[in-house]
Amino acid sequence: MFDPHSIKEDFPILNNKINSRPLIYLDNASTTQKPKIVIEALKNYYENSNANIPRGIHTLSEKATASYEKTRLNIAKFINATSEKEIIFTRNTTESINLMAYTWGETNIKENNEIIVSAIEHHSNLVPWQQLCQRRQAKLKIIPIKQNLTLDLDQYAKLLSKKTKLVAVTGMSNVLGTIPNLKKIIDLAHQAGAITLVDGAQSVAHSPTDVQELDCDFMAFSAHKMLGPTGIGILYGKYEILNDMPPFLFGGDMVKVVEQYKAYWNDLPWKFEAGTPNIADVIAFDEALKYLEKIGMENVQKHDQKLLKYAVEKFSQYKNQNVKLFLPNDIVNNGGILSFSIKGIHPHDIATIFNEEGVAIRSGHHCSQPLIENLNVLATARISFYIYNTKEDIDLAELALQKTIKIFK
């Protein structure tokens, strides 16, 4: 049975106090906390398996290599990729998207080609495509949002043309929690002859993911948003597309043979992984995957939605006190993210007062500045949930909201 109270006991940091109050961590869209099993895996690696990979003959190197590659295999299973060779390790989601932009993008985007993104993208899935279009003299098009803060897919269909080469969209907005209809977006893109990339930084951590069912060509996500360590990103790509792409970085491990004036690239996935990787954190990430699989991603999603509904009910009571919520009208399929503002109070001041009460939230434009401007605000405050959050956490956040309103009356 899913019990967030018992789950919370697995996370040592949540025993901390902030300003003499229990820590209530509601900044999970930024990064998640780590269970003991992940922390212990890091410690165990450095105490018992520390060695470089992949070609060492000695026992430590073989042990480290086997554990590292086991994580790759389990990631492939987690998102239902056809092969672990479709899983590329990077530093984060941002680097995964840039890898694709600088390899597939530079090879395939020509003058007057078109790339489509949405109006709810994180900068990491916007700026690389802005820059690629500038370098290649291509055109960037934006899927607009409707008044209900969902993507306008009728307008999207009109944006598609024979010139469209790539559609890159988020799986879940990190500001609004909006979950686009990815299957429809991807199918329409393929009908137009375009390939697709999904920014799964939020969605993979909060819902079941099946890249074969979606039929996306690429998906990028990060370990740290799903209980794993920082410094690990993943780029999934269909084998045949990855195989045709040139390498991103050059040096050790990504080569098969090196001659004096020429080099031959390694097989997938290693041709995209130059140099010594982040071995310890990849191995520890495997424990995070096991932890989430034990809970079940369907249960993670249901828990998020339950907490979101409760938080919306609580915070909606303060609309007559200038509290404004930013989320779609229908939150049934929304992610566990709630952005809000209070008229006349800067979000940084809101976050500061929440912190005084031990409640950690995020404030700012959340690396989605064009979207924030579209909402006609300078910034928002944001609470976001994960498996260790409870209704009691939201009750304490409500008390912090009451204090904020009272101070600025």
* C-beta atoms surrounding 39 within 10 Å: 16
82: nearest Cα among 217, 206, 207, 184 = 217
CB 205 within 8 A of CB 32: yes
Q: Residue 73 has which token pair?
A: 């295999």
Those residues with Cβ within 8 angstroms of residue 376's Cβ, 6 or more apart along the chain or in another chain: none
- Active-site entry in 29, 168, 350, 367: 367
Q: What SS3 class is residue 383? A: strand
Q: Residue 40 has which token pair?
A: 């212990």
| 391-407 helix and 297-316 helix, angle to the nearest 10 degrees | 30
Q: How many residues does the chain have?
A: 409
DSSP 223: S
54 cis-preceded (ω within 30 degrees of 0): yes
Residues 328 and 56: their CA atoms lie apart, in Å, by 53
Structure-derived torsion over alpha carbons of residues 313, 300, 149, 30, reported in degrees to the nearest 10: 100
At residue 408, φ and ψ (nearest 5 deg) are -95, 10
Q: Residue 12 has which token pair?
A: 């040592």
CB 345 within 8 A of CB 404: yes
Which single residue is written with the structure tokens 């991603």?
297
Q: Residue 191 has which token pair?
A: 């009908």
367 carries an active-site annotation? yes
Q: Walk across the sheet containing 114-118 and list its strands.
A: 87-90, 233-237, 218-222, 195-199, 164-170, 114-118, 139-143
Residue positions annotated with a catalytic role? 367
